[in-house]
Amino acid sequence: MAKGPLSRVRVLDMSRILAGPWAAQMLADLGAEVIKIERPGKGDDSRQFGPPFLKDAEGRNTRESSFYISTNRNKKSLSCDISKPEGQALIRALVAKCDVLLENYKVGDLKRYGLDYDSLKSVNPKLIYCSLTGFGQTGPYSPRPGYDSIFQAMGGLMSITGLPDDVAGGGPMKTGPSLADILAGQYAAYAIQAALYARDMQGEPGQHIDVSLLDSLIASTSHYASQYLISGEVPVRRGTEGNGGMPSRMFRCADGDIMIVAGNNEQYARFCDVLGHPELTGDERFAEIALRVVNRRALGEVFEPLIGQWRLHDLLAALDEAGVPAGPINTLEQVFADPHVQSRNMCVEASHSLSADGKVKLVANPVKFSGTPIVDYKAPPIQGEHTEQILRELLGMEDTAVQNLRSKGIV
């Protein structure tokens, strides 16, 4: 088995659903040993987020939803009832042997069980404790619950996503994937690694990391937020249009849709040549990037009928040869059938004991390391799959002690 760059790091993942599990999965992909804590019986809430569910050999649904599978690969699962003193004692015993604890309980919830940072730092002063919550540990909204779409709305993303108000179907739009969760998970994963570096390379103590989904979403509006902060002008929705060179948008071909970005004047000139209208390079409305940005509506009106005469793959080939960036609007079926995507191994398989064919397909981690490649993928664990292994091997518990915990419903 290949050793990842975080192979000496052990993580206690007390999170559920998406943002926290995503962060822990990123660490697991990099080689960290991640122990996922699940409630006995119910497990991670996301196990119920289906259909679709993984099917067994008889074609029946298992408890492994596609949602759960998407965020929990390369982990171990331990069932533990933290509402009971014995369960809390187990968590403290594990904390003593872990580098990181990741949780996304509501603010103050874990303090009731003595599992908050202030309580656990005495158990392990080197512990990196990361809390992922909707609104953060401070501020007037901190006690509130929330979900991804709430943060997309409050953080401004929906206001800049979708068609303009003066176009049919215009209005705020949520992104398909739960980007607030995923982005917060990514911020948490890199913050945890930075805290580990500070601890191990700079002699800093353990610390508490506070990551908010709302903060993460706002930060990820990036150049849109900067546009507002610099100019004072509120950005508007522009559908598929980009923000750099023009044209930068989707066009409709005779048999499909294409995304085209002419990022500079040279690419725009080649784009005009491909369409057989080099005179449009000198059109006073479109001669420079800034002019094309200002006159974007007129630009679309000119180029839409020209592009509509082309077949999609003919235009893609011509633009590719001319060095003009373009791509088809793919479905996910087309994405994973694309020869380039296949060459990048973006779909991998892992063994799964409940699957009809003994395997489950996973989306690969996109990072390619030359020295410590991510090559070993393990299927997301069945609930409590590693409970006895962890209790015996990591905590050194005897069989009678493990059975006692089972009889009480602690694990």
Task: Rounding to the nearest 10 degrees, give the CA dihedral for residues 145, 148, 154, 157.
Answer: 170
Size (the chain), residues: 411
Other CB atoms closer than 10 Å to residue 194's CB: what's the count?
Answer: 12
- In the sheet that holds 248-252, the strands lie side by side as 248-252, 257-261, 326-328
Distance CA 130, CA 115 (A): 12
Distance CA 159, CA 148 (A): 15
**DSSP conformation class of 3:** P
DSSP 88-147: HHHHHHHHTT-SEEEE-PPTTTGGGGT-SHHHHTTT-TT-EEEEEESS-SSSTTTT----
Other CB atoms closer than 10 Å to residue 225's CB: what's the count?
Answer: 16
Single out the catalytic residue among 181, 210, 255, 399. Answer: 181
CA 227, distance to chain mean position in Å, is 25
Distance CA 411, CA 404 (A): 9
181 in catalytic set:
yes
Distance CA 233, CA 219 (A): 18
Collect all residues with Cβ–Cβ distance below 8 Å to 275 and sequence separation of at least 6.
Answer: 303, 306, 307
- Annotated catalytic residues are 181
